[in-house]
Structure 1
């Protein structure tokens, strides 16, 4: 046993000795280091205030020895100012970015490019962790500050703080007709103190958005997992989390005094399980089919769960909204609500002139009722009306 421990210790020391650390303080130094690093190496950004960086980072580590890009001291490396391109664009694999503070950045569009603070583009098993994003402002509607896109897989955004950001989307999993990042994990982040956006109809202020086009691309399966995040006073828009794709899971998230809901805006076959809602405007809103809504706790919200009317039904018909169908709503605990479960909201709402029917060949009357949903074994406490069906 003694020989075994000695051998193991020597191996660890050998690995540590072989790993190199590159300390950088400007983009040129960073790019030279990025072109040199091997699995297990570190790029350390010196403490200080920075602006006008736009880095493409193609580094490749391994599962056992990722490439680490980190602040010299967590939160002491601060990026601010205008960003018209991605400050950090990860395009490789097994690369971890940590400890960076993004404060007071202006996210702008210029010369055909869009400002993003961190982008994972076709990357695989890359990680954004322990970073802070505060008081960053989007200058155009529908602009995110963190994007996971391309045909990558296994990327992770975790243990980050998103605080008092302005007129933006925080985390976007970007889905197109040809690119669907797979198995993205968004976990253990804190989103808080997000004011209502200034944009028309108060749209474009989601904290987490999985997919962007639920009408034409809602059937795209991203298989994302959003779990163990905290959303406190998030009032950016009616959708705190916006699901617009298929096969995603939303588990054990906590919502407190948010003026918005966890929304299945589109897509199918999602799991919404063991989330907690305390106060605020809304709980869970459902469009689409074959969603499972179980073990959620919803307290002190006027209407806890809403199943919506649509313009179409199923996974084949095109509708600006798809009626909630074949969903399972069970084993949820709902307390201190006016209506616990509303089956059939937005009945006969007329959307004529409110969306482009050439782009979205959909009927404009929201008159297809929720259908074939299984609702039962829910527990109600101090609820005025347990279920309303329209």
Structure 2
């Protein structure tokens, strides 16, 4: 056994010894390379204008092929520059897309054949067409088992999703983590999501995408900041800071949403989580000072359309909303949000359990009082609540402990540092501020 391991080790050393560094100054030079596992392609510092990079190759888990800026954050892709990642175990590191725009397509695109590829430490900032109706994406995830992490996206003003996950017949298992999504102003129409996982027509396909430990600051492009349009995704431990847009389970089933922070600071129309579809679990999230109502409430359960097509609002079934902390939000729970004479299907088998609501008003807003929802072991904390709490809520005259950073603790919960205070978010070279004021 030792002999076999030693032989493998020697082969690994030999492969490393053969790996090469390639210094390039243009997309044409990248195209001419034949890359092997362990190779690095080093992009010169400076302005790369109108460069259409196609990064191809087949690396390995131990020896990925790397395309990187010699000086991270100092290689500027400008004009109508773009990047395609097409291969296996490819890594892109340290690029900056600025002072440019496209007329269509993707600024950064993972190909359908890509797998186990990664882009990190990279930024796309204000890469806007002069015509805000021109539709293109800043990043498209295709293929499978790809990752986008520690990147920075800010200032998208034109039509189209900032980052989109495309689906196929097989699950894709992508990971989107530790990115900083900066301000996206209101577009004024549909098509301004920050992240969309899937499309309506593919919404009953499994994705198994994980979105975790990202910061969304002032992402206001449209109603949906994160739009879930596929099945079996996990959206956890993210910060939504003063966002008018919501985390919306728009299409697809079996999503799990937990550990997220929604901080409104009383800003107008700030929202939380919107639930549509079947078998979703929304638990252990934190909502504070949100002012949104109806479809933008802290947690809204939507009314459904009869005989829905793929683009419709499907009936809510088997939703579990538990162990969430909701503080001083205008509408903690909106039931049958979006109800109208055509959209009237009642939520079925929906449970609200063990949630803690801090409010001097009723935690429930009924947009259709025919809905039957099970409320169980929820707590309403208030010093001045004058009414009788609804069935399934216990009124308690007590306060929660506030930490120095402005967050509150559940009863019995120990002080903690949220992820944006304890870990690195965004590119290491971007020097982004992750100290958020919580009023």
Q: What TM-score does the superposition give when structure 2 sets the normalisation length?
A: 0.75
Distance of aligned partners of 1:343 and 1:25 in 2 relative to their CA distance in 1, 3 Å threshold: same
Structure 1 residue 15: Cα displacement: 5.9
SS in 1 for 2:345: coil
SS in 1 for 2:28: helix
For 2:191 and 2:71, the matched residues in 1 are separated by 33
Unmatched runs of 5 consecutive residues or more in structure 1: 1-6, 350-364
For 1:268 and 1:44, the matched residues in 2 are separated by 43
8 Å contact from structure 1 (residues 133, 165) kept in 2: no
Structure 1 residue 165: Cα displacement: 2.4
Rg (Cα) greater in structure: 2
Kindly indicate which of the two structures has a greater share of residues assigned to strand. 1
Structure 1 residue 325: Cα displacement: 1.5
8 Å contact from structure 1 (residues 90, 121) kept in 2: no
Structure 1 residue 51: Cα displacement: 2.0
For 2:211 and 2:120, the matched residues in 1 are separated by 15
For 1:48 and 1:119, the matched residues in 2 are separated by 24
1:206 and 2:193 matched:
yes
1:306 to 282, 287, 300: 300
For 1:63 and 1:385, the matched residues in 2 are separated by 54
1:276 and 2:266 matched:
no
1:20 and 2:20 matched:
yes
1:320 to 312, 318, 333: 312
Unmatched runs of 5 consecutive residues or more in structure 2: 1-6, 292-296, 369-439
Structure 1 residue 295: Cα displacement: 0.3
Match of 2:35 in 1: 37
1:144 to 137, 140, 143: 137
For 1:119 and 1:212, the matched residues in 2 are separated by 17
For 1:10 and 1:51, the matched residues in 2 are separated by 43
Question: What RMSD, in angstroms, separates the aligned Cα atoms of the two structures?
Answer: 2.3
Match of 1:59 in 2: 57
Match of 2:338 in 1: 346
1:194 to 184, 209, 212: 184
Distance of aligned partners of 1:318 and 1:136 in 2 relative to their CA distance in 1, 3 Å threshold: closer
**For this pair of structures, how many residues does the alignment match?**
350
Deviates more, 1:24-33 or 1:223-232: 24-33
Match of 1:182 in 2: 172
2:92 to 90, 93, 97: 97
SS in 2 for 1:30: helix
Match of 1:88 in 2: 83
Structure 1 residue 207: Cα displacement: 1.1
SS in 2 for 1:68: strand
1:244 and 2:221 matched:
no
For 1:96 and 1:377, the matched residues in 2 are separated by 43
1:336 and 2:335 matched:
no
